[in-house]
Structure 1
Amino acid sequence: MLRIFALLIVALIAVTPAALADATIYLVRHAEKASDGTRDPNLTDEGQARAAWIAEFLADKGVTKIYSTDYKRTRQTAAPAAEHAGVEISLYDPRALEAFAEQLKKETGVILVTGHSNTTPELVGHLVGEPLGELTEDQYDRIYIVTISAGGTASYRLTYSEPRTP
């Protein structure tokens, strides 16, 4: 009887929402960028601190894959998390978000995606089938967490990095 009870407990633990998820995708806009007049600026000191915060936030999540657009600010936002997780940053095309969303839906594991104020919410919308509005130019703290279940159902929740922005 005790053995049956133990097996039942193990079975219930195995069927938690996290266990049913094929993928958990953390999507962030790049951190604060310098205003240097170029199309491809570096992160500011504040942006580098936010990138380090994001890496620390993800440190115990088991990140298995990281995607970034091919801009310094997005790669620099992803770099601390990539270093901590020991994974390389793969590039994606922000002009092909629908196709990228379909690719992400087929992946498993814990994934970080760094993008932009207009592309990050749009990508979340493609993943969950619900349009989201763009971020404003001064919003850097949103972390969208998309969970895709084994059955393909996607949902998201929103959390925030520090320091908070408007």
Structure 2
Amino acid sequence: MRILLLLLASLTALPALAKDQPIYVTRHYDTPAGERDPDLLPAGKARAERLGKLLAGKRIATIYVTDYRRTRQTAAPLATRRGIPVETYDPRDTSGIVARAKAATRPVLIVGHSNTVPDIVEQLGGTRPAELAHEDFGDLWTLRGGKTGRVKVAP
């Protein structure tokens, strides 16, 4: 009976543990200005490779990208290296991607855009970043337990 009670207590703790999983958010990396669906520039490709190495040891379960080349290319090195599934989301549906990320039981990466990342970070409970200009590439936010971390991914 005692073992059964311990087992039940540990199972009820699982959802609480899942809520403490980090969520990583980044904007797609370096692109030329003024193009609708550009490929990453060489600096963006180098930064994406660096992101793949930086997050290689994390237990990321899913990578969420929009249906644009630049977001898919930003996520590709990590997804390929680790065999992580890539799922698309609608960049106009911030609440939808936030709900999917919050429901995850393992860490996830969201790759967004200059006009979506501040809202995503804020709706995930983080400190809202300043609006992003075209030149603002390379920031990676980590949201965990109500805290926000931010590092710069160098090319």
TM-score range, shorter chain: 0.7 to 0.9
| SS of aligned partner of 1:157 | strand
Q: Which fold has the larger relative contact order, with Cα–Cα distance below 8 Å and residues 6 or more apart in sequence?
A: 2
CA displacement at 1:38 relative to structure 2: 3.4
**Distance (whole Å) between structure 1 residues aligned to residue 138 and residue 111 of structure 2:** 12
CA contact (8 A) 1:122 1:133 kept: no
CA displacement at 1:70 relative to structure 2: 0.6
User: Residue in 1 aligned with 2:141?
Assistant: 144
User: Residue in 2 aligned with 1:31?
Assistant: 29
TM (norm. structure 2) is: 0.82
CA displacement at 1:51 relative to structure 2: 0.3
**Distance (whole Å) between structure 2 residues aligned to residue 42 and residue 135 of structure 1:** 19
**Distance (whole Å) between structure 1 residues aligned to residue 128 and residue 148 of structure 2:** 12
Give me the identity figure in percent. Answer: 37
The aligned amino acid for 1:55 is G
Q: Is residue 114 of structure 1 aligned with residue 111 of structure 2?
A: yes
Gaps of 5+ in 2: 1-16
CA displacement at 1:61 relative to structure 2: 1.1
User: Residue in 2 aligned with 1:92?
Assistant: 89
CA displacement at 1:100 relative to structure 2: 1.7
Q: Deviations over 1:12-70 (max 9, x none)?
A: xxxxxxx67542111111010135x5310000111100000000000111221100011
TM (norm. structure 1) is: 0.77
Give RMSD over aligned pairs.
1.8
CA contact (8 A) 2:127 2:148 kept: no
2:101 to 97, 100, 104: 104
Runs of 4+, deviation exceeding 4 Å: none
CA contact (8 A) 1:22 1:107 kept: no
**Distance (whole Å) between structure 2 residues aligned to residue 124 and residue 52 of structure 1:** 23
User: Residue in 1 aligned with 2:57?
Assistant: 60
| SS of aligned partner of 1:53 | helix
1:159 to 139, 151, 154: 151
* Alpha-carbon spacing, 1:134–1:113, altered in 2? closer, same or farther (3 Å): same
CA displacement at 1:112 relative to structure 2: 1.0
The aligned amino acid for 1:86 is G
